[in-house]
Amino acid sequence: MSKTLQSNGYLAGQMLIAMPQMQDPRFARTVVYVCAHSAEGAMGLVINRLFDALSFPDLLKQLDIVPSTDCEPIRIHFGGPVESGRGFVLHSGDYCQDSTLMVDEHVGLTATVDVLRAIAEGRGPRQSLLALGYAGWSAGQLDEEILDNAWLSIPADDDLLFGASLEFKWERALAKLGADPLLLSAEAGHA
């Protein structure tokens, strides 16, 4: 975690793990990468759920982008319930354009068609995750949900963030904390 994140209490660049008792079906057993978090609110992408209604080749066809032979087809994720028709590419820091939000020195977020074109042409980021929609929180909402014991946070790592295996990503994220989901309590501890 960078000094900035530690000193201001914000979680950009961290991962949120939904607690086992999460009632909202949109977020039950999810892992969310926090792209932005400030006093004004927070924005993140669910990184362990696929969006099955559309494939990457179909999306490229809709956007009139012809993929090169170097194009690696990527899966499309359900990024969250907000603006579900809008695409976001979370990617390694080796790709950056004027519209890229660099979350930290290793991860960027780009929401323009240019990044999809670069991926289709085989000149995109080394690692990427395409998501439709995002998870959004108003001012203080995420902080309140954390205090209400809805989420745990952990430092992000490339394997959890960009790893292809989604099936046990939630369990692997909990394991980073040394937590057994069966032993987690719905009651928050307050001193």
The DSSP-derived string for 56-95 is HHHHHHHTT-PPPTTPPP-PEEE--SEEEEEEEEEEETT-
Residues 67-114: tens digit of each pLDDT: 888 787 788 999 999 999 899 999 999 999 999 999 998 999 999 999
Distant-in-sequence, close-in-space partners of 98: CB < 8 Å, separation ≥ 6: none
What is the extent of the structural domain holding 66?
3-180
Q: Does residue 186 lie within any of the structural domains?
A: no
Q: Does residue 188 lie within any of the structural domains?
A: no
CB 45 within 8 A of CB 33: yes
Residues 108-157: tens digit of each pLDDT: 999 999 999 999 998 899 999 999 999 999 999 999 999 999 999 999 99
Q: Does residue 190 lie within any of the structural domains?
A: no
Q: What is the pTM assigned to this prediction?
A: 0.87
Q: Does residue 35 lie within any of the structural domains?
A: yes
Q: Does residue 112 lie within any of the structural domains?
A: yes
Look at residue 1 and tell me whether its pLDDT is greater than 60: no
- Give the total number of structural domains in the chain: 1
Phi-psi sector, 33: left (phi>0), alpha (psi -120 to 50), beta:
beta
Q: Does residue 11 lie within any of the structural domains?
A: yes
Q: Report residue 164's pLDDT band, with 50, 70 and 90 as the boundaries.
A: confident
Look up the CATH number of the domain holding residue 79.
3.40.1740.10
pLDDT at 38: 94
Q: Does residue 79 lie within any of the structural domains?
A: yes
